Amino acid sequence: MKFTASSDVDRSCAPRACVDLSALRRNADTVRKLLPSKRLMAVVKGDAYGHGLVESAMALVDAGVEALGVASLEEALELRDAGVPEAVRILAWLYAPVHNDARIAEAIRARIDLSVGSMEHLAAVHRAATSVGELVRVHLEMDTGLGRGGVQMSVWDDLARAAALHEASGAIRIVGLWTQLSYADAPEDPVNERQLAVFRRGEAVAQSYGLRFEAVHTSTSARALTRPTSELYGDTVRIGLALFGVSPVSGTSSHFWGLSPVLSVTAPIVQVKFLEAGARIGYDESHRLSRDGYIGLVPMGYADGVPKYLSRGADVSVRGRRHAVVAVNMDQFLIDLGRDPVPVGAVATILGSDGAVTIDANDWGAAIGSYGDEIVVRFGAGLPRTY
């Protein structure tokens, strides 16, 4: 067995993530042109899908986005603190309705729109708004079948009636109505149409109590890209993954939709070994070399966001050539370089373009039975980012 190794890898080639904010702005422009009659709510939850919450949100605001969507109150408040102007609406939809009055009140003072998906949430928001003496903008969330957040049709009448009474009191203003479809990533599935029928019935009930909505949103990235605008129910669309250049539609690339990947991830190869055919490598000898060749060691592992079971069909690119990932550990992974004796310090492109080769987040997602959004989010906190 022969090997080469080096202890002085150039620090400029340390593992890192690069976020192309220009690509993010271009993607926002592309989506807006595809949906000229719809308002765009840019979803930046999960630290903007691992791309950096504040940096990404500010770039989207620069691109003209008028509304942002996040999961938590903490994300919403961070955006306001970072300088997102009040003219840009921020909707937060995931927060506890109990033992949380102070935080809800803080969000109201910061002009955060709040989603209400239960009677408990409605009571908490009304209570907090009354305590601070400020009007709060509310989006009602309906559970049309996903079984996650929102109010089911069986008790929707009660919520709509209570929301109308609270609005009449002057503490809250109902401005939005929304749902998340069970097959949001499969727009052609007939379940979506059944759930939209439920949504329309719920909308009619709410309107019967005098509620009027300035933002109705049922569609996300995949549906917005694949269905005619006339089939996108509501005046607003929530676009998240597509903005970051990850195709939300299975079997298609971002480039197919005219989008550019925003995140690239690279790392150096810090050791190269020559092994003979038949050599078994990895814990439990999980991989067997079918021929003589080189193995490269990359200093990233599942502690850094690389999925542990990625070694089932994913590649990286080195010098414009694809090489299979063959074993993943906590802080490092191995790639099969074949007969290509690349030098130590050569850069492995984990996500992004390398010459004519592009490593797509969805390729890695498919290798672990998931999607590209899980991959880009994994890299969010584990690597230093440059913009």
For the question of residue 309 being annotated catalytic, the response is no
Q: Phi, psi at residue 54, to the nearest 5°?
A: -70, -45
pLDDT tens sequence for the chain (387 residues): 343 444 334 445 589 999 999 999 999 999 999 999 999 999 999 999 999 999 999 999 999 999 999 999 999 999 999 999 999 999 999 999 999 999 999 999 999 999 999 999 999 999 999 999 999 999 999 999 999 999 999 999 999 999 999 999 999 999 999 999 999 989 889 999 999 999 999 999 999 999 999 999 999 999 999 999 999 999 999 999 999 999 999 889 999 999 999 999 999 999 999 999 999 998 888 889 999 999 999 999 999 999 998 877 899 999 999 999 999 999 999 999 999 889 999 999 999 999 999 999 999 999 999 999 999 999 877 788 999
28-35 long-range CB contacts below 8 Å, 24 or more apart? Answer: 28/60, 28/63, 28/64, 28/65, 28/243, 29/63, 30/257, 30/258, 30/259, 31/224, 31/239, 31/242, 31/243, 31/259, 32/64, 34/224, 34/225, 35/224, 35/229, 35/232, 35/237
CA distance 226 to 217: 16
Predicted confidence at residue 13, as pLDDT, reads 57
* Catalytic one of 49, 183, 209, 283: 283
| pLDDT recorded at residue 12 | 52
d(CA 88, CA 186): 30
Rg (CA), the chain: 24
Please indicate whether residue 45 is annotated as part of the active site: yes
pLDDT reported for residue 251: 86
pTM for this model (two decimals): 0.93
Of the residues 38, 45, 273, 294, which is catalytic?
Answer: 45
**Burial of 283: CB neighbours in 10 Å, binned 0-12, 13-18, 19+:** exposed
Query: Do 307 and 330 meet the contact criterion of CB atoms below 8 Å apart?
Result: no
Residues β-bridged to residue 280: 288
pLDDT given at position 10: 43
